[in-house]
Amino acid sequence: MQLGENTIQSFIAAANLGASYVEFDVQLTKDHVPVIYHDFLVSETGIDAPVHTLTLEQFLHVSEQKTPRTSRPSSPVEAKIENKDVAGGKKPRPRSYSVDVRKESSSDMNERMKHTRDFKMKGYKGNSRGNFIQAPFTTLEEMFKKLPESIGFNIEMKYPMLHESEEHDMDTYAVELNSFVDTVLKKVYDLGTKRNIIFSSFHPDICLLLSFKQPSIPILFLSDAGTSPVGDIRASSLQEAIRFASRWNLLGVVSAAEPLVMCPRLVRVVKESGLVCVSYGVLNNDPVYVQRQVKEGIDAVIVDSVLAIRKGLTAHEETEKATKETKGTVVAATVAAQLTNGSGPNGAATNGTAAAATNGTIQSTNGVHGIDGPSNNSDDMPPEIARIVDTVNGVPIYAADSNGNTVNGAVF
């Protein structure tokens, strides 16, 4: 069983599994109440209804679980008997169900949504496939009140751009941009004074308004990084995202994981621009891909499978640590043996040299450049201890030996 997305229960579970922040999408209803919902269209209504066309009452009613009704009497005689029992104070005995109620309810939901745009394109809707524990939709205010203050919020401001409105066959009108931002900001400042909060949005103008209207909460610019067509040049690529975020002093960029997995060095390109680098997407549910980004210094990853990623990263760190300790021990023992075999008549001097050389080797293994004490092999620096001394546009520059020869890479 899995927890339904964008529900209070799923956010609490994520926090309990070690997530520092929970990420969710905020939109406004017709009566200007911030609610938590991912898609622009609420297919659960049975029609392609945008969130901003529903009142709060209508929005919450859509997600209410259906309670099974008692079977209809098979004959007028049975109906009279049931009515008589009710009049006499006896509660009618409900009929047993031969069909699983949960599956029947899920089937009914799919039947209701089968003519909607999202369901036709995907064949499913969030929380409508597999075995899941459904819970009612929720509001931003409820999130603040029910989740512990130790859990940070990454609030994605969900507002359709013009090309998205056209793609989803939505009306070209929505809640006015300033009104949308002001309403959410008021709720955040009223209820979130003691909580770590980050704003994020795919909409460049939303990011601009958030930057202009408040100075204290950091803002991340979300970008598909060229993985899907967009109608705004500012959202067309990772390069444009970096340029936009730098120009308006945003905290950083949240990129689709695909380019960062295929070319991990892009993580350093973002960070060398003075920006925080975060990634999202289904690829982040694979610990191998996450580790590839972590190795390049990514600041955070947005994942669905919190426990699986946490276990994967922990196991990798433990393995790497054990490997380093083993290598350090072997190198130290080898150097000590070589010095012992070549020792002179003065044993104390030999022991001192061995200690100095061993310490130098261990420090190099731990990332300290250079080896303490004299060495007779400085002209033949082995490749395994070559070190990066600088970078040029993300390209590593390696050290060289005393003769200026290249060691495991180019020297500029």
pLDDT at 342 over 50: yes
For residue 296, give the 3-state DSSP assignment: coil
DSSP annotation string for 6-28: TSHHHHHHHHHTT-SEEEEEEEE
Distance CA 221, CA 227 (A): 16
Q: 63: closest CA among 133, 129, 137, 132?
A: 137
DSSP annotation string for 95-131: PP-SS-HHHHHHHHHHHHHTTSHHHHHHS--TTSSSS
Least confident of 8-22, 167-181, 232-246, 256-270: 167-181
Q: What is the mean pLDDT of residues 71-91?
A: 50
Least confident of 128-132, 292-296, 371-375: 371-375
Distance CA 51, CA 41 (A): 6
Least confident of 156-160, 211-215, 303-307: 303-307
Q: Which two tokens stand for residue 87?
A: 């009049």
User: Which pLDDT belongs to residue 48?
Assistant: 77
pLDDT digits (tens, 9 = 90+) for 352-396: 433 333 343 333 333 333 334 444 444 444 444 445 666 655 555
Contact 144, 190 (CB under 8 A): no
Contact 308, 291 (CB under 8 A): no
Q: 201: closest CA among 226, 176, 184, 186?
A: 184
Name the percent of the chain lying above pLDDT 90. 34
Residue 255, phi then psi, degrees to nearest 5: -105, 150
Bigger pLDDT: 180 vs 46: 180
At 199, which helix (H) or strand (E)?
strand 197-201
Taking the CB of residue 146, how many other CB atoms lie within 10 A of it?
12
Mean pLDDT of the chain: 73
Q: What is the mean pLDDT of residues 266-271?
A: 94
Q: 278: closest CA among 295, 262, 293, 263?
A: 293
Buried b / exposed e across 169-180, counting CB within 10 Å, b at 16+? ebeeebbeeeeb
Q: What is the mean pLDDT of residues 58-77?
A: 58
pTM of the prediction?
Answer: 0.64
Alpha carbon separation from 70 to 95, 105, 127, 153 (Å, rounded): 6, 14, 26, 43
User: Which pLDDT belongs to residue 260?
Assistant: 94
For residue 298, give the 3-state DSSP assignment: coil
Residue indicated by tokens 């020869």: 405
Neighbouring residues of 226: CB distance < 8 A, sequence distance ≥ 6: 236, 237, 238, 259
Biggest distance spanned by C-alpha atoms of the chain? 116
**pLDDT band at 218; cut points 50, 70, 90:** very high
Distance CA 135, CA 113 (A): 18
**pLDDT band at 313; cut points 50, 70, 90:** confident
Contact 274, 252 (CB under 8 A): no
Total count of residues recorded for the chain:
412
User: Which pLDDT belongs to residue 381?
Assistant: 42
pLDDT at 133 over 60: no
